[in-house]
Amino acid sequence: MEEEKQEQEINEESTQATGTENKEINNKADEIIKLKQELEEKDDRLKRLMAEFENFKKRSGKEREFLYNSILSDIVSSFLPVLDNLENAANAETADENYKQGVELVLKQFKDVLVANNVKEIEGVGATFDPELHEAVSSVVDESLGEKEIKEVYRKGYKIGNKVIRHSMVVVAN
């Protein structure tokens, strides 16, 4: 009988231990589930923050580029009258050929600097009139030219990318 009692006590202890272990296992499983949920929430927050930061970098890059182009166009537009005068000086008649070559070299260097900064001349004679690029100062009838074709350019226009710095002053045919 004593053996049976001992067996029964062992079974009871084992059942109690199993119950306690089950409770601990359930508590640990609940804790694991909570930690997984916290990890998923933090992971979601991190992904959102990373996406917001990428958007911020793109937006600030665009703003910086816009500001750069705006400042560049302001500076270039202040130099355009100087360019016009250099072109006039290069086209003027002179007896001193070395002087003329010097002016032409300075003009070429000036134009190279503009090209390096993405400044382009707006198309002139022979192009079709575009009110976004050209400013018509007069109109003439010329049967040899097409409809809204530019016959003459009074003042060259320039643009940076798609932004017009100065409109071309032109004479339009027909």
Cα-flanking dihedrals φ and ψ of residue 127, to 5°?
Answer: -80, 160
CATH numbers and ranges of domains, the chain: 118-174 (2.30.22.10)
The model carries a pTM of: 0.66
pLDDT band at 174 (very low <50, low <70, confident <90, very high): confident
The predicted model gives 114-118 an average pLDDT of 93
Alpha carbons 138 and 8: distance in angstroms, whole number: 117
pLDDT tens profile 137-151: 998 988 888 888 999
Q: For residue 149, which phi and psi values (nearest 5 degrees)? A: -90, 140
| DSSP SS3 for 92 | coil
Confidence of residue 89 (pLDDT cuts 50, 70, 90): very high
Q: In this model, does residue 57 exceed pLDDT 80? A: yes
Q: Which range among 8-12, 25-29, 163-167 shows the weakest confidence by mean pLDDT?
A: 8-12
CA dihedral 20, 26, 28, 31 (to 10 degrees): -140
